[in-house]
Every structure is written in C-alpha cells, then in structure tokens.
Structure 1
Amino acid sequence: MEQILLSKYARKIFFFISSVIFILILFIRLLLVPKISVYLSQELINIFNTILDAILSTGISTVIIGSLAFWLTPRIVKKSQMDVINPKEIKDYLEKARDTDEYWFAGGTGRFTRSKTIPKLAADARFSNFSKKIVLILINPDNDGVCSSYVKYRNRIRSGIKKTWDYKELKKEIFATIVSAYSWEKEQPLLEVTIGLIDHYSMFRIDLSTKFLVITKEDTSEPALMCEKETFFFKSYLEDLRLSLSQSNILDKEVEGIPFNELSGEKIRKFITVLGLNISIMDDDDFNDIAELVKKGENPYGY
C-alpha cells in the first residue's frame, strides 16, 4: 500500500475505488439484503451479513491503518528514495519544477525545454526582478559519430514511428534550442543561460530544479523517476550534472542572441557561425526552418 500512496495520482484512484467498494457493500448490507430476506432462511441471511460486515470492517481498518502509517512516517524517510511517477503526473511535476531560481537540463535536443522551461524562467525573471539561471547540456551537433548514433537510436524507439529523423534534422533541433536560449537571454537580461555540448547521449532526460529532480524518457507513455531536494539521489545527480558540464564544450556566453522580432535564417546562420559550430551541411532552407522552430516554440510532448 505504501507504494500506492507515494504517488499522488495512484493515491486518488486508490481512495476513489476503495470508497466505491465500501459504499457498494453498505448498499448491499443495508438495502439489498433486507429486500431479499423474505426469500432466504434466517441462517443464510446471518451468514451473508457476517461476511459483508467482516469485509467492510477489515477493509476500512486496513485503509485507515495503512494511511496513518504513511502520513505518520517521518518525511525524511519517505524522501530517501527515488519515486516512480505515473505518466499522467509528469506534467504537474515539471510545472512545479519550473518555479525555481536555478534549473538544469541534460538530454538530447532540449525541445521541451525550449518550448516551456526557458520561456517560463524568462517571464519569472522579468516579473520578479530576480535573476534566474538555466543550464542546458545538449548533444554536440559537431560530433558526427554521436549524432548519427543518436538518430539511429531515436528512429528505433516507439516514439520515432511518428517522425523519422536524420542528421540534419537533429542539428536543426539543437541549433533551434541554442538560438532560442540566447534570444531569451537577450530579451530578459536577468536570465542567465549556460549551454554545454557533450560528446555522448543518453536515453534519459534530466530536469533538476531547486525543488526536485525528474528523470524522463522520450516516450511520454512511460513512467518517470523523481526525488526531492536534500536527498542522496538529488545531490548525486546535481554533482553529476556539474561534472558533465565541466567536460562539455561550453558555448561563448559573450555572444549576443538575436531578438525574437529580428529572427531570420540569415541572422541565425551568422549567429551559429560566430559560436564556432559547423554548418557545412546546412543550406538557406535549413536556417529558415530553424527560425520557424524558434518562433513557434511548439511543445513536442503535449504536457
């Protein structure tokens, strides 16, 4: 029962189903049994009532004792483990995570981060008048071997059925995230952006704020993992992110981003060139596509 109660979504379903069952038993015990008693012997009715009473009392007692044990367990004990998040809960946790002063992301292209996280932190920085920091660790688009391997991996998994990628498509998505991050930093001076490019990839995406850590996969139908701040896993992942950043190619923070109202394929070409990234396989249409990706800011996962 403890594992059920740990999940907010599963907890609601559990209490709802338990309540329905208890109400149904009460209905049978108090209303249905008296109506059919004229057709049954008194001995059979007594046995039937005894069974229903036993099920009801045992069930209610189990739920109460299990709930009390869960809520009375010291919070530090419940926080000492990695919890599994139901896919329907991922959106809520990521929304809560964005209410923070510092945010770390490590993953493939950062499409969701580009569409949701960076704009949210930029808006919060403006309206709170306090600085916000975001660190992005993305696949290095200049590493042909890693990018080709990632494209093959992504096209093999279930979510790759909807859209087939190639090397150029991957580069456009990474460039779009980089351009978007720099543009938001240009628009909101209180937003501090750091981008590191790494020469490897993982099947997991890591979102870490000052509140908790959420680990997801590309497929939104799969569960995620979560742990709260001040726990062993949270501290370990934060240290690992710092280590990954120190080994990455950190993009020049002095390069100015392009204001959103000035985004164009030509300006994006010049901007990426100034950052020192390889654009040899890209043409004018590709840079125009990147501009559209940045402007639209579409959420690829629907949460």
Structure 2
Amino acid sequence: MTRALAWLRNNIDGLVALVLAFIVGMLAVLDLIDVDNVNAVVLLVLGLLAGTLLRDRHLSAQAVRDASSVQLLYGSAIGHAHTLARGGTEQWIFKGGTGTYIRAVTLRSCVENARREQRPLRMQLEILDPADEQLCKTYAQFRTSLTPEGDRTGEAWTTDRTRREAFATVLAACWYRQRFTFLTIGVGLSKVMSTFRWDLSSSCVIVTQESTNSPALMFERDKPYYRDLSRELVASFKQAREVELSRADTVPLADEPSVDQVRRLFDALALPLPATFTDRDVADIVRRALQPRNPY
C-alpha cells in the first residue's frame, strides 16, 4: 500500500493527463461534447504532459549533478588535488593517523601561502593519541599489514615510530604557531584509529586511505556532502582530547629546538614524553617535526 501511494504521488500529473485523455476521447466518440470543448481539454492534457516532461528533466539533471558530486582520484591526481586545495585556502581540517603528510607538505605550504598573502589561517588536526601505547601499536600493525617493507621512506612502522610521529605533529603545530601570529591551530588526540584520512580546505574535502594504491574521493564545496563531512569532522574533533597549545607559550622554541626545550614543552602541554624515550628519540621527534620526509 505504501509503495502504491508513493508511486501515485510521484506520477499524479501523468496519471491525470491519461485519465483526462481517455474520458474526453470516450465522450467525443459518443458525441457527448462538442469540438471546442475537446480542443480545450486537449490543450489541458498537453500542458500536463509538458509539466511532467519538465519535472522529469529537472530530476534527471539533479541525478547527474549528484552523480558528479564525488570525484575518484588516482595516483598523481591525488597530489595535484591537494596542491590545488592548499592554494588560497583559509582553513584546513585534518583527521587521520599521525599527520606525516600534514607535517611534510600541508602545514608548511599552507603557512607559507598565508604569510605571503598576509591573511589568517585556521587549522584543525585530529591525530592518534601518542600517550595511548596500545592504540599506537594497533595502528602500527595496521600499517605493517599494508606495507610490510615500510612506506616510501623505507622505514617500517612500529609502535615507537607511531608515537614519535604523533608527538612530532604536536611539536610542529607549536613551532609554527609561535612563528606565524595569524595561525590559529588546534590539535586533538583521538582514542580511535581510522583507516581513512580526511583533508578539508575552503574548496573541497579529499578522503584518502593509507594504501597508496587506493583511489581518493573528492567532494567540492558547492556539491553535496561537503557540508556534511565538515560537520562530521567538527563533531569528531570535539570528542577528541584537545591539546592546550596556548601552554606552549611558556616554552619558546628555537629554530632548532633542543632536547631540553622539547621535553619541557611536552610537560607544559600535560603530554609528557614516555620515560623510555632517550635524548636520541627526542632529537628524532624534532627531525620529524621540522625536517619531515614525504611518505607519499
């Protein structure tokens, strides 16, 4: 019954035209109405049919627009889309693993563009919580299952590497924040691992996977889902543990932060480095934060 009512609602105009045509045809055959009335009804039926055609054309055009609202990107097209997205953007929202690509490319590029154009920049980064050792272990196992030989840097994924990568993203956020007044940046630490990465700019959302062989999805700002994904990223960030980056103001960072500065910084952020981290580990975090290698 419900299906029949839905069909009737969607096709009422065509059904009325068909019924009118049948009734008028029968009356004309029986000579019960004159020619002028027949012509008037014919015009009415044609008008209904024209309206039906226009509606169907509109629905078809809408379906085509919706189908083109999602673009599949492969290989080098993914990097090109990221490059275009960074150009002129006033915001960047990221959700993913440890933020390796964010440090290697996105953060530096967005800050440089904003500084050159003398405009403000807002960034929001949601990454794994490096204090959650089990979560970092799970992520490392996931990455290793995809690429046992390591990523394109040639380095294997381990629990310690995952933690150092995430700490490096926090350090990079603080370092750039101290050097660009108009950078508003927030870092949230998630307790949940995702196999996807979201990057949202002022012009589009790009959804990628850790596997470089998988295609990416791109949703442009004026197409469906952009606003929905933006809302999803904001809601997710609110559920993460936000790092109070303003506390970093008490620990000025040198162009090449020392091991002592980095340790004091993370203590000030209420995110102390693990006791097992040696000075060499801390120096490695600095390298990953300020001299990162692009893993993609």
Instruction: Name the structure 2 match of 1:150.
Output: 139
Give the fraction of aligned pairs with identical amino acids, expressed as a percent: 25
Shift of 1:124: 2.1
Tell me which structure has the larger Cα radius of gyration. 2
Counterpart Cα distance in 2 of 1:132 and 1:116:
16
Query: 1:261 is paired with a residue of what secondary structure?
Result: coil
Distance 1:173 1:157, change over 3 A: same
Instruction: Name the structure 1 match of 2:170.
Output: 178
From 80, 87, 92, the counterpart of 2:75? 87
Instruction: Name the structure 2 match of 1:239.
Output: 231
Counterpart Cα distance in 2 of 1:90 and 1:186:
31
Greater shift, 269-278 or 105-114, is seen at 269-278
Which 5+ residue runs of structure 1 have no aligned equivalent? 1-72
- Structure 1 residues 247-286: Cα deviation after superposition (integer angstroms, max 9, x where no partner): 0111113122754524122211111111111422312110
Shift of 1:137: 0.3
Counterpart Cα distance in 1 of 2:156 and 2:113:
35
Asked if 2 retains the 8 angstrom alpha-carbon contact of 1:79 and 1:231, the reply is no
Give the letter for the 2:182 counterpart. Answer: L
Query: 2:84 is paired with a residue of what secondary structure?
Result: helix
Shift of 1:146: 1.4
Asked if 2 retains the 8 angstrom alpha-carbon contact of 1:134 and 1:192, the reply is yes
From 291, 294, 297, the counterpart of 2:289? 294
- Structure 1 residues 168-198: Cα deviation after superposition (integer angstroms, max 9, x where no partner): 1111111111111111111111111111111
Distance 1:237 1:160, change over 3 A: farther
Asked if 2 retains the 8 angstrom alpha-carbon contact of 1:121 and 1:191, the reply is no
Instruction: Name the structure 2 match of 1:251.
Output: 243
Name the count of aligned residue pairs. Answer: 229
Query: 1:220 is paired with a residue of what secondary structure?
Result: coil
Instruction: Name the structure 2 match of 1:222.
Output: 214
Counterpart Cα distance in 2 of 1:104 and 1:177:
14
Distance 1:110 1:223, change over 3 A: same
Counterpart Cα distance in 2 of 1:128 and 1:81:
30
The answer to whether residue 157 in structure 2 is matched with residue 169 in structure 1 is: no
Distance 1:158 1:168, change over 3 A: closer
Which 5+ residue runs of structure 2 have no aligned equivalent? 1-60
Asked if 2 retains the 8 angstrom alpha-carbon contact of 1:87 and 1:223, the reply is yes
> Which ranges of 4 or more aligned residues in structure 1 deviate by more than 6 Å?
73-76
Counterpart Cα distance in 2 of 1:160 and 1:138:
23
Shift of 1:298: 2.0
Shift of 1:292: 1.7
Alignment of 1:258-277 (within 5 A): 258-277=252-271
Asked if 1 retains the 8 angstrom alpha-carbon contact of 2:245 and 2:269, the reply is no
- Structure 1 residues 221-241: Cα deviation after superposition (integer angstroms, max 9, x where no partner): 321111111333211111110
Counterpart Cα distance in 2 of 1:289 and 1:103:
26
Counterpart Cα distance in 2 of 1:297 and 1:163:
13
Shift of 1:139: 0.4
Instruction: Name the structure 2 match of 1:140.
Output: 129
Asked if 2 retains the 8 angstrom alpha-carbon contact of 1:185 and 1:192, the reply is yes
Give the letter for the 2:188 counterpart. Answer: G
Instruction: Name the structure 2 match of 1:189.
Output: 181
Give the letter for the 1:263 counterpart. Answer: P
Counterpart Cα distance in 1 of 2:67 and 2:122:
25
Counterpart Cα distance in 2 of 1:191 and 1:129:
11
Query: 1:290 is paired with a residue of what secondary structure?
Result: helix
TM, length-normalised to structure 1 = 0.70
Query: 2:246 is paired with a residue of what secondary structure?
Result: coil
Q: How large is the RMSD of aligned CA atoms in angstroms?
A: 2.1
The answer to whether residue 93 in structure 2 is matched with residue 104 in structure 1 is: yes
Asked if 1 retains the 8 angstrom alpha-carbon contact of 2:263 and 2:272, the reply is no
The answer to whether residue 196 in structure 2 is matched with residue 204 in structure 1 is: yes
Asked if 2 retains the 8 angstrom alpha-carbon contact of 1:265 and 1:290, the reply is no
